[in-house]
């Protein structure tokens, strides 16, 4: 009997330790730096991240700044519904503090103490500078509020157990950059930041493991389409990727949507390209330089 009690106590202690280790993490108010908000930089990051492409409630609206949510994403884990991130104080994020926003973007933790599912690419946004996140929030606050409540996700077991995301984060949430970049090459540093951070290109172009985490040993080497049939292409400098494109070709594609062989952008990449076209020439040049600098992978 004593042995059974000891075993039960150990099981309960292990359970408590796991729950403590996997509970949502939060930055405290002192983590926010003194920073003069720059909504113009926030707008740049809004388009670099394609926020409107997922969160727009009016997909055909040119600027995609009505962020009432509603997009449905069918995945092997179930159905995800994209939420309202407009400044509406009830159905959007208008009541969020700056710290709430930074915690969501960097740590995937909601203001009400829940884990966010990584269909929201906080794993990439965790690499963003806090000052940039603050600028992004300041820009979002300038947009029109949308009074629209979106339904919750409809996920399969065991993915519908949100507490398990804490364990997923322990295994997959890493704010370090995937690739190295020369510290004295500002163009490469900028390109790495845009691609691996706000641009979250790896979320689609990198294959995933069985738990849905990115396999960074195959960084940007192409992956199954997370929303249906087909594949997302390889964008490393491999012969099956972008080896035949020079940096100017990549820049022109991001600006115009046309490839070097006179084809045009298609599928879900259309919205991505339209967002990239809103960036500066310098930003597109940085992205191109980065994509040509990474290891080629088959």
Model pTM above 0.85:
yes
Return d(Cα 181, Cα 184) in angstroms, integer: 9
Domains and CATH numbers, the chain: 36-176 (no CATH), 179-298 (1.10.760)
What stretches of the chain show up as alpha helix (H) in DSSP? Answer: 2-21, 39-48, 51-55, 98-107, 122-125, 130-140, 165-172, 186-196, 202-205, 247-256, 269-276, 281-293
Rounded (to 5) percent helix, strand, coil in the chain: 40, 5, 50
Give residue 14's pLDDT: 46
pLDDT tens digits for 35-51?
999 999 999 999 999 99
CA distance 248 to 231: 25
Mean pLDDT of 109-114: 95
Contacts of 275 (CB under 8 A, 6+ apart): 47, 48, 49, 50, 52, 53
pLDDT of residue 136: 98
Cα 94 from chain centre: 21
Q: What is the pLDDT of residues 208-252, one digit of tens each?
A: 988 889 999 999 999 988 766 788 899 999 998 889 999 999 999
pLDDT per position as a tens digit, 131-179? 999 999 999 999 999 999 888 898 888 888 888 899 899 999 999 999 9
């Amino acid at each position: 009997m004593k042995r059974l009690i000891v075993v039960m106590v150990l099981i309960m202690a292990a359970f408590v330790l796991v729950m403590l280790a996997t509970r949502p993490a939060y930055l405290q108010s002192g983590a926010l730096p003194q920073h003069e908000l720059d909504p113009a930089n926030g707008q740049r990051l809004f388009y670099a991240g394609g926020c409107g492409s997922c969160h727009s409630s009016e997909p055909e609206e040119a600027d995609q700044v009505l962020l009432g949510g509603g997009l449905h994403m069918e995945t092997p884990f179930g159905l995800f519904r994209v939420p309202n991130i407009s400044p509406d104080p009830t159905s959007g994020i208008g009541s969020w503090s700056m710290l709430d926003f930074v915690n969501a973007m960097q740590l995937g933790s909601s203001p009400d103490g829940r884990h966010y599912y990584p269909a929201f690419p906080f794993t990439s946004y965790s690499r963003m500078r806090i000052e940039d996140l603050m600028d992004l929030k300041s820009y979002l606050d300038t947009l029109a509020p949308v009074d629209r409540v979106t339904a919750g996700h409809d996920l399969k077991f065991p993915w519908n157990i949100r507490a398990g995301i804490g364990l997923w984060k322990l295994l997959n949430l890493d704010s370090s950059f995937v690739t190295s970049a020369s510290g004295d090459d500002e163009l490469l540093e900028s390109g790495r930041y845009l691609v691996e951070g706000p641009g979250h290109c790896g979320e689609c172009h990198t294959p995933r493991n069985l738990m849905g985490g990115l396999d960074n040993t195959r960084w940007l080497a192409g992956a199954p389409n997370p929303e249906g049939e087909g594949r997302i292409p390889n964008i490393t400098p491999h012969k099956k990727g972008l080896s035949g494109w020079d940096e100017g070709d990549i820049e022109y594609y991001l600006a115009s949507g046309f490839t070097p062989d006179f084809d045009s952008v298609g599928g879900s990449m259309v919205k991505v390209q339209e967002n990239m076209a809103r960036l500066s020439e310098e930003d597109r040049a940085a992205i191109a330089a980065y994509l040509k600098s990474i290891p080629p992978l088959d």
